[in-house]
Amino acid sequence: MEKIFLPRVNDLHFHGRSGQVLKDILPFTSEVCSHALFMPNIAGNEIVNARRVEEYRAEILKVCNPLFSSCEPLMTIMITPKTTPPTIEAAYNAGAVAAKIYPRGGTTNSENGIDDWDSHQLMAVLEKMEELGMVLCVHGELVYGAPEKIEVYGQYLGVLNEIEPSKREIRFCPIISKWCQLFPQLRIVFEHITTHAAVSLVFSLPKTVSATITVHHLLVTEVDVMGSHLNPHLFCKPTVKGYADMAALRAAAFSGNPKFFLGTDSAVHTKSRKEECGCAGVFSAPVFVEALIELFTEFGQLDKLPDFISNFGADFYDLPRASQTISYRREPSLVPGRIKESYVPFMAGKTLAWRRDE
């Protein structure tokens, strides 16, 4: 097969940033997507109310003009400890289709995230979302647990409550299960899952619970990030895991189960920021479709790709399925080392087997 046609993508987890960065990176997404779900953790100006939903959408549309683009932005609001049911309802009426929970201190720009998972206010917010039909998107990691006295070989190390990064997603799974029981009609997306435990959980829960999977978690393990040397451009949150977890993610993506669909979590930082302070995020927008074609082709699962990248996500979010297709041809394509001098894309310097037709 030398040419294939795929529906326009629904990227249901995208970090568009703002200002000049938005202008620099949005074309990579808008050229191939039917919809993109924009994350609300904008540095210094988070999307936390209806006014910010409207302002951010207006900023996006100035770059991604609907008269010239087939990509529709989908808006979200960030849930903070100050969020109330009226806040959520106003954001919904302003066009937000989903609300996002970040664990406090667990990822980029999450200082105003949640750390009280049983608060009455949070429960009231989730109840309002269930009533409105909004989707709950969750960065599912438990960053802080109950304080524990740590003693190793008789040496007292202190009282610690921060959970090791590799265990945070697994520790969060019971919270997803609890919310599913408390709010049976609430649609929940367990975002960018990375572990076998998360895959198993999503399979076991009702159809109101789905999960997004990123391209980098399907292709990269912790060996790639910190094997022979540290590669800051592959560092992300949640962290990539080992081979067994990657195999579980691939099995889910190849399964044809509508609970699992694409959310790239493409999150750009400048080269200097990645290399100087190790900001979490992988910039996959320029290459994710071609990389997925290669992966699904390698394992004989190409027929499952349209559902994974487009149809299943549209169905879960009650969006129209993409009516347009884009053609890709089998032809070597070198991924540039840098884009616009400032950004290092996923798979920089590597050669992909497919490229998009112009």
User: Which ranges in the chain belong to alpha helices (H)?
Assistant: 19-30, 50-63, 85-93, 120-132, 168-182, 196-204, 215-219, 222-226, 243-254, 271-277, 288-298, 305-306, 312-316
- The interaxial angle of helices 168-182 and 120-132, nearest 10 deg, is 60
User: What's the alpha-carbon Rg for the chain, to the nearest Å?
Assistant: 20
Residue 245 known to be catalytic: no
42-73 pLDDT tens trace: 988 999 999 999 999 999 999 987 766 899 99
Percent of the chain's residues with pLDDT above 90:
86
Cα distances (angstroms) measured from residue 224 to each of 38, 170, 230, 239, 268: 28, 22, 8, 12, 19
Q: What is the mean pLDDT of residues 23-37?
A: 97
Q: What is the mean pLDDT of residues 10-28?
A: 97
202-259 pLDDT tens trace: 999 999 999 999 999 999 999 999 988 999 999 999 999 999 999 999 999 999 999 9
Average pLDDT over the chain reads: 95
- The predicted pLDDT at position 107 comes to 84
Instruction: Compare 41 and 69 and report the one with higher pLDDT.
Output: 41
172-209 pLDDT tens trace: 999 999 999 999 999 999 999 999 999 999 999 999 99
Q: Which two tokens mark 334?
A: 């070198």
- The predicted pLDDT at position 68 comes to 64
Sign of CA dihedral 249, 76, 114, 104: positive
All domains in the chain, ordered by first residue: 7-327 (3.20.20.140)
Q: How many other β-carbons are positioned within 10 Å of the β-carbon of residue 162? A: 11
Cα distances (angstroms) measured from residue 250 to each of 194, 213, 296, 312: 10, 9, 9, 16
Q: Which of 261, 257, 269, 266 is nearest to 285 (CA)?
A: 266
**Of 11, 24, 118, 265, which residue is the catalytic one?**
265
Write the single-letter amino acid at 252: A
